[in-house]
Amino acid sequence: MSAQTRTEGTDRRRELLSIAAELFADKGFKNTTVRDIADAAGILSGSLYHHFDSKESMVDEILSSFQAELFAAYDEVLRSDDDARTKIERAVRLSFEAIDRRRHEVAIFQNEADFLGQQERFAYLAERNAESRAVWITLLDDGVRSGALRADLDIELTYRFIRDTVWVAVRWYRPGGKLSHTAVADQYLTILLDGIAHA
């Protein structure tokens, strides 16, 4: 019975975090009140503090667990023995998959990371950012060296282009809509790799 209680407590926690994540993503962190979260959960604001220290610790838990998951996926691509172009394709697809499956978390990270990152508590956001940049620069360098990518690319600018392009899609992509995340990834990779001009 104590095991069940522990499990239900964890489930409730996750449920509350999921509700909070949706609100943070839609209205912004600062713009979402603890009363908003409590209302959406069908409880009163004071009751939230039985589960969490503060509103800040809620967004902290949301972001850090998402980041851990995302970077495990990056690591798997990096460690694989695919060729350079395939790795790039996989890394792009991985992003759209994250947008599909964790869109609230992606949106919160996109919208709030810069501001939250100024606080010491959220310093890991900037660290993960640097880590992600390192992954992409490696992939792009390998791509140019192997001849898969054009030699005249500005690698830093190309990295920013890809990073911005894939993640900003979280603003309009909706799971269950007309386009699957794999279809969007296909189109984006086509444009990214071969351009929109007539060959």
Q: Which residues bind a second copy (CB under 8 A)?
A: 27-28, 30-31, 85, 111, 114-115, 143, 147-151, 153-154, 157-158, 160-161, 164-165, 168-169, 171-172, 179, 184, 187-188, 191-199
Judged by beta carbon, residue 12 or residue 171, the one nearer a second copy is 171
CA distance 124 to 120: 8
Tokens of 56: 């800040």
The CA distances from residue 71 to 78, 128, 133, 139, 185, in Å, are: 10, 8, 12, 15, 19
Residues from 44 through 83 that contact DNA (CB under 7 A):
44-47, 49-51, 53-56
Picking from 63, 38, 58, the residue whose alpha carbon sits closest to that of residue 129 is: 63
Q: Specify the residue, 42 or 195, whose C-beta has the smaller distance to a second copy.
A: 195
Given DNA, a second copy, none, residue 174, with its beta carbon under 5 to 8 Å by kind, binds none
In which element (H, E) is residue 25 found? helix 2-27
**CA dist., res. 102 & res. 112, Å (int):** 16
Residue number with CB closer to a second copy (7 or 187): 187
| Residues engaged in binding DNA (CB under 7 A) | 5, 8-9, 12, 32-35, 38, 43-47, 49-51, 53-56
